[in-house]
Structure formats: structure tokens, C-alpha cells
Structure 1
Amino acid sequence: EHKLSREGFDWLIGEVESRFNQAQANPGECVGTVAAQSLGEPTTQMTLNTFHFAGVSAKNVTLGVPRLTEIINLAKNIKTPSLSVYLDERHANDKEAAKDVQSALEYAALRNITSRVEIW
């Protein structure tokens, strides 16, 4: 069903090779420090954002550091699951129809509600 042309395959291999070469560290580089900064800076920013959005009901501030911890530790029981769903025009302006969609999705398996999945 999913086939890749020779040209597409060659492009993919080139892309993987290019990204691999860009990701290599120079000899003697403090990779631990770079890794710590790569995680530390966004985590610090998420923590600061929780103070900016305190009391704002439209923002869910529980998704910052606790969610990052769940992802890093591969938590089996996710405490703050989330899903963004974009409704079509028929459901977007009708609150009751949107609630119907929400209740239908609450306990649905992804394979039962998708026609296809693509990785970009």
C-alpha cells in the first residue's frame, strides 16, 4: 500500500545522512553540557510560563514540566493526557455537536477514527 519510489528513497537516505552528519559533535566538545542546556532551557521557560498564565483558564499550565517528565521517563500512566482536535465547519460552530464529537473520541482507539496516518 505504501510504496516509495527510487527517487524518494534516495532523497530519504540523503536526508538521514545529512542530519546525522550535522548532529555529530566535534572531538572534545562538552556534549553533556550541551545536552543539559538543550533540556534545561525549555524546561525553565515552561516553568516561567506557568507564572505568566496563572489564573488564565484558557491555558493548561499542568502540561509543562510534569508532561516533560512523563515523556522522558516513558510513563505508562499519563496524568495529563491531551489531544487537539480541529472540527470541520459543520461541528465548529455548534457547541452540542462539538460535545458529541468529544464524547465519541474520549474512549476511541486511533485506528477506529483515522482513515490513514502519515509521518512527515
Structure 2
Amino acid sequence: MSQAAQPTDRSPDSSADFVAIQRDPRFQKLRRRHRSFVFPLAIIFLLWYFLYVLLADYAHDFMSIKVAGSINLGLIFGLLQFVTTFGITTWYVMYSNRKLDPLAVEIREEIEGQSAEGSDLEGAR
């Protein structure tokens, strides 16, 4: 039997009302918090990345300035791309643990509680 044809455990009556969830002020707050962190940071990182690419392509003399031995600015800027990526990831995880996850857990637990209550009511009929 194909996966699409397999029956699911959820009946239509016990599924969550996703439109109502999206209208919930807590969900909107969660989305707003997520977007206000992710979008500006993504834009800043992309600008930093494209600056690096443009400098590497058009500012050869600047990027080839020796800093120590055979280490030049181009190499340092390239390595800073990795440092920036790990820094942003760490910052996002800390932000998510502090600001996003508690609200998401609260919403999820309420949804799962309502689904469980709905299935309990079905079993009682």
C-alpha cells in the first residue's frame, strides 16, 4: 500500500483548526518575534557576504594586503564568514530558547490538549 493511501490516526474531527491558531494573538506574537529577528539578520548577513564577494572580485589590491606572513585580508574576511555564520546560529538558538520556544510550547500543548479532548469525546460516544 502506498504511503498516500495509508489511513491516518487523526480523524477530521480531532484535527486542529489552523486558521483559528493563526489568528491567535500568541501565534501572531510568535511569528512577529521570529520574523523581527530572522529577516533583519538575514539581510545584514547577505550584505556582509556580498561585500566580501565584491571585494574579492573587484578590490584585489585591498584583499591581498598582507597581515602576517602569507595571511592576507582576503583570507581573514573569508574565515570571518564562517565565524559570522556560527555566531548567528548561536545567537538564534539562544534567542529561540528564550523568546520563541516557550511560546511555541504553550501553543502546541494547548493544541494537543484540545486534540486529546476531542478524541476522548469521540471515544465516549
Same fold (TM over 0.5): no
Task: Select the structure that is richer in helix.
Answer: 2
Greater relative CO, 1 or 2 (CA 8 Å, sep 6+): 2
Given the two structures, how large is their TM-score scaled by the length of structure 1?
0.32
Given the two structures, how large is their TM-score scaled by the length of structure 2?
0.31
